[in-house]
């Protein structure tokens, strides 16, 4: 609603709401096509990597105190 029509009858207000919702439907359409699942998988993998890094952090701190070089992770081919 634009804010100009404060005194609309309920039927007109509902029609305006539907029109606005239909106009925004394109933005929500991507989430219906399976992209939401892929997005969740990406977030889950980032959380997993973050937890692994936090777990390995104390080990790397001990190595640097002893003067050893920290191991750099290698990418999988």
**Predicted confidence (pLDDT) per residue in 9-43, tens digit:** 889 889 999 998 888 887 777 666 677 788 889 99
Tell me: pLDDT of 45 over 90.
yes
Domain boundaries of the chain, sorted by first residue: 10-65
User: Residue for token digits 């305006």?
Assistant: 16
The pLDDT tens digits for 50-62 are 888 888 777 666 6
DSSP, collapsed to helix, strand or coil, labels residue 13 as helix
What is the value of pTM for the model shown? 0.35
Say which DSSP state 2 is in: -
State residue 53's pLDDT score: 84
| Distance from the Cα of residue 1 to its chain's centroid | 28
């Amino acid at each position: 609603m634009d804010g100009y029509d404060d005194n609309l009858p309920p039927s007109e207000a509902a029609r305006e709401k539907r029109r606005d919702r239909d106009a925004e439907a394109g933005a929500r359409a991507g989430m219906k096509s399976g992209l939401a699942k892929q997005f969740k998988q990406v977030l889950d993998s980032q959380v997993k990597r973050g937890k692994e890094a936090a777990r390995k952090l104390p080990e790397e701190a001990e190595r640097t105190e002893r003067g050893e070089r920290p191991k750099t992770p290698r990418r999988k081919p």
